[in-house]
């Protein structure tokens, strides 16, 4: 009985936060519009931008970041942060590469080991955060170092070239990584907006103390979110390793910031309690299109970084502005 | 209860740290042999790992002659950390510092201070900037390969497979490194001599994923590209993946540099046309031997060139 009551309460919190239907569409419309503007700019500025190969390339490149961004969205919604995703991706990839190259294990077993590595890292993050009530920033910062070091230990600091044995996953122009990423985005959004777990996540991010006082233990929820993030990061590792056909212990450097930037562009609040997986996906696409377009125009790396930084800040300002407009008429 | 836990853990960590630090500290104090510090770039990079292994193997055989301290930085761009390392090595009383600088300019003042303190400094791998050395009025002997020559060798091998006017692109290393610039220049020398058309030259910052992204964009922009010259093998791996994804593996030739283990298979398969070996394992050894020589007779420092070799499927 008590649980259903709490569920109802959590649901009503969520319902109040859910924007009305037109605003909901407007949310995505804004992001889609921003993306369209970028596409038009690059279509005019760079040759061969509107080609099938180009979109296929971009689609394949965004898949790993997208999957990590889904996990990051969940973590940010519970007002947490996971700085370890880049290193964990390198470690999971390193495990995959070492299993196949050094021990000659078949692909399915290597993938299982890779996913297990991701889950263990997520579990460690979650357990330390919930058991000692440490800020996730500190804990995952520690994990960032641990996982990176472990990735180098596992591979002996050598890039492992695996070859087409793992490349089959990425396919040739078959877009499998992208399809996997899109499925994960859809599932992630469904979990977030249609399940009890998803509503608890939003509730924990909104007011953890209130959740606890309502008789729901927030710790398993937080633990679950960190494990999920680790698991998704490992899936991203499988995909990126398959795409490169090699496992690099230095892979994923700076991935955490790229993922956080994408999620924040998508309007997810760093303060927790608000966010959308689909919007994060748009955030990833905006950054990817920007990077690919600028590279094609031959813009130098430093300029590219300046422009990307400006776009991130502009996007968040726009998002704030949009939310303020929506809030002001009804105090 | 929770507080006790915290104290217990901090005490434990402190004890563990002390135990780890003590023995190394004691060992150093006892020896009278000259202490040679090998200061490398990122040990995360296979190249420097090989260098370190080579130095350790050499030290094992000549353990009576000198003590070795091998240190490196976390990532190649962490210049400030490397400066700190040089200062620490001087403080530890190293007789000689053999350094592969992460930045050809920024490390010069720190090395000058070390020399003023009486430490012999040998520059390996990545050469210090001439202008800065002249400005600081120091001369530091360079022991290492001619990267420009190495890149030219690889470029000339590639040129044999190209026609005049063919479109090629260069994937550069980090733009603030001397060896990155030298390799780019070497590639350019060979391509200009062959009459090839360099349509794009962008930095992949030595990284596989970064190079992959840049190469994908170049492939989209330049449909008739015939070859990619990458300033290191990690970036060549990223380029191989990008051409494969674009379905152009057969149309585009790829050149790497460094001869890391991961490219061996690709060289045999023809995925990578050629790479350059500058014998990382020997590089630090040459530097150490040179340092021992200088410590013994304090001779006038001169540069010493180490070999670079072209590696193709045939030479493997």
Residue ranges of domains in chain B, CATH in brackets: 31-140+280-307 (3.40.50.2300), 147-277 (3.40.50.2300)
Report, as an integer, the average pLDDT of A294-298: 81
CA distance B233 to A248: 12
CATH number of A52-324: 1.10.3470
The reported pLDDT for the residue numbered B24 is 47
The answer to whether residue A308 neighbours chain B at the CB level (below 8 Å) is: no
Which ranges constitute the DSSP H helices of A171-276? Answer: 176-194, 196-206, 208-213, 218-244, 255-265
The answer to whether residue B49 neighbours chain A at the CB level (below 8 Å) is: yes
CA distance A40 to A150: 44
Confidence of residue A22 (pLDDT cuts 50, 70, 90): low
The answer to whether residue B8 neighbours chain A at the CB level (below 8 Å) is: no
Consecutive H or E run containing A71: helix A52-77
The reported pLDDT for the residue numbered A160 is 87
The answer to whether residue B209 neighbours chain A at the CB level (below 8 Å) is: yes
Better-scored residue on pLDDT, A43 or A331: A43
ipTM: 0.71
| Contact flag B219-A51 (C-beta cutoff 8 Å) | no
Domain limits, chain A: 52-324
Give me the DSSP letters along B7-63.
HHHHHHHHHHHHHHHHHHHHHHHH--SPEEEEEEEETTSHHHHHHHHHHHHHHHHTT
Report, as an integer, the average pLDDT of A256-264: 93
The answer to whether residue B131 neighbours chain A at the CB level (below 8 Å) is: no
CA distance B181 to B172: 8
Per-residue pLDDT at A17 exceeds 90: no
Per-residue pLDDT at B95 exceeds 50: yes
Report, as an integer, the average pLDDT of A71-80: 96
| Contact flag B207-A295 (C-beta cutoff 8 Å) | no
* Chain B positions in Cβ-Cβ contact with residue A240 (cut-off 8 Å): 209
CA distance B92 to B97: 11
Confidence of residue A2 (pLDDT cuts 50, 70, 90): very low
The answer to whether residue B220 neighbours chain A at the CB level (below 8 Å) is: yes
Cβ–Cβ < 8 Å for B204, B219: no
Which residues, 6 or more positions from A20, have their beta carbon under 8 angstroms from its beta carbon?
none
Helices (H) and strands (E) counted in chain B, each on its own, are 11, 12
The answer to whether residue A328 neighbours chain B at the CB level (below 8 Å) is: no
Q: How do residues B193-204 score in pLDDT, each as one tens digit?
A: 999 999 999 999
| Contact flag A296-B218 (C-beta cutoff 8 Å) | yes
The reported pLDDT for the residue numbered A291 is 85
Q: How do residues B12-41 score in pLDDT, each as one tens digit?
A: 565 555 555 544 444 444 457 899 999 998
CA distance A207 to A211: 6
Residue of B nearest to A48 (CA): B221
Pairing of the two strands B309-312 and B274-277: antiparallel
B226: helix, strand or coil: strand
* Chain A positions in Cβ-Cβ contact with residue B280 (cut-off 8 Å): none
Provide the 8-state DSSP code for A19: P
* Chain A positions in Cβ-Cβ contact with residue B220 (cut-off 8 Å): 48-49, 51, 53-54, 57, 292, 296
Better-scored residue on pLDDT, A125 or A2: A125
Name which of A49, A157, A245 is nearest B44 (Cβ-Cβ): A157
The answer to whether residue A149 neighbours chain B at the CB level (below 8 Å) is: no
The reported pLDDT for the residue numbered B187 is 97
Residue of B nearest to A255 (CA): B209
The answer to whether residue A57 neighbours chain B at the CB level (below 8 Å) is: yes
Better-scored residue on pLDDT, B304 or A154: A154
Preferred mutation among B45, B46, B175, B220 to probe A, highest tally of A CBs within 10 A: B220
Provide the 8-state DSSP code for B260: -
Among A179-183, B115-119, B204-208, B299-303, the range scoring the smallest mean pLDDT is B299-303
B57: closest CA of chain A, how far (Å): 17
- Mean pLDDT across chain B, nearest whole number? 86
Q: How do residues B37-76 score in pLDDT, each as one tens digit?
A: 999 987 777 888 889 999 999 999 998 889 999 998 877 7
- The count of CB pairs under 8 A between chains A and B is 117
């Amino acid at each position: 009985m008590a649980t259903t009551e709490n569920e109802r309460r959590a649901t009503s919190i969520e319902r109040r936060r859910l924007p009305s239907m037109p605003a909901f569409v407007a949310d995505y419309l804004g992001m889609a519009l921003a993306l369209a503007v970028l596409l038009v700019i690059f279509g005019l500025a760079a040759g061969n931008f509107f080609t099938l190969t180009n979109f296929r390339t971009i689609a394949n490149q965004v898949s790993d970041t997208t999957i990590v961004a889904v996990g990051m969205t969940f973590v940010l919604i519970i007002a947490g942060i996971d700085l370890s995703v880049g290193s964990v991706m390198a470690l999971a990839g390193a495990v995959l590469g070492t299993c196949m190259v050094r021990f000659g294990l078949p692909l399915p077993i290597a993938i299982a080991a890779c996913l297990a590595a991701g889950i263990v890292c997520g579990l460690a993050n979650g357990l330390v955060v919930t058991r000692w009530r440490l800020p996730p920033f500190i804990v995952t910062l520690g994990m960032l170092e641990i996982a990176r070091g472990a990735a180098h230990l596992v591979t002996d600091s050598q890039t492992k070239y695996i070859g087409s044995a793992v490349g089959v996953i990425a396919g040739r122009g078959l877009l499998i990584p992208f399809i996997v990423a899109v499925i994960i985005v859809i599932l992630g959004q469904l979990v977030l907006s249609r399940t009890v777990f998803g509503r608890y996540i939003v509730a924990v991010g909104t007011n953890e103390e209130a959740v606890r006082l309502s008789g729901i233990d927030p710790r398993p929820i937080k633990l679950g979110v960190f494990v999920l993030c680790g698991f998704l990061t490992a899936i991203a590792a499988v995909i990126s390793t398959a795409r490169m056909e090699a496992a690099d212990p230095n892979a994923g450097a700076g991935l955490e910031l790229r993922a956080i930037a994408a999620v924040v562009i998508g309007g997810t609040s760093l303060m927790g309690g608000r966010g959308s997986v689909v919007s994060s996906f748009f955030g990833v696409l905006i950054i990817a299109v920007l990077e690919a377009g600028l590279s094609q125009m031959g813009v130098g790396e430093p300029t590219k970084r300046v422009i990307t930084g400006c776009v991130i800040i502009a996007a968040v300002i726009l998002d704030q502005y949009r939310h303020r407009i929506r809030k002001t008429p009804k105090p | 209860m929770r507080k006790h836990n915290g104290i217990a853990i901090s005490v434990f960590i402190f004890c563990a740290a002390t135990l780890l630090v003590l023995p190394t500290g004691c060992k150093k104090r006892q020896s009278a042999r000259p202490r040679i510090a090998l200061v490398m770039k990122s040990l995360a990079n296979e190249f420097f790992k090989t260098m370190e292994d080579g130095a350790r193997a050499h030290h094992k055989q000549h353990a009576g002659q000198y003590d070795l301290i091998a240190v490196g930085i976390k990532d190649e761009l962490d210049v400030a950390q490397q400066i700190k390392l040089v200062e620490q090595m001087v403080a530890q009383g190293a007789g000689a510092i053999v350094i592969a600088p992460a930045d050809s300019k920024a490390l010069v003042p720190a090395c000058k201070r070390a020399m003023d303190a009486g430490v012999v400094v040998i520059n390996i791998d990545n050469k210090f900037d001439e202008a800065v050395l002249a400005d600081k009025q120091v001369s530091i002997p360079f022991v290492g390969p001619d990267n420009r020559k190495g890149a030219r060798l690889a470029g000339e091998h590639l040129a044999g497979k190209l026609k005049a006017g063919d479109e090629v692109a260069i994937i550069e290393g980090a733009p603030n490194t001397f060896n990155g610039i030298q390799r780019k220049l070497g590639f350019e020398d060979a391509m200009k001599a062959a009459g090839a058309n360099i349509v794009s030259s962008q930095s992949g910052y030595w990284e596989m994923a970064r190079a992959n992204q840049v190469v994908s964009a170049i492939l989209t922009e330049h449909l008739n590209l015939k070859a990619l010259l990458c300033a290191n093998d990690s970036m060549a791996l990223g380029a191989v993946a990008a051409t494969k994804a674009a379905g152009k593996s057969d149309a585009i030739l790829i050149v790497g540099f460094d001869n890391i283990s991961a490219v061996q298979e690709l060289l045999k398969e023809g995925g990578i046309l050629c790479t350059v070996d500058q014998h990382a394992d020997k590089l630090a050894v040459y530097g150490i031997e040179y340092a021992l020589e200088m410590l013994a007779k304090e001779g006038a420092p001169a540069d010493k060139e180490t070999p670079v070799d072209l590696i193709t499927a045939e030479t493997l």
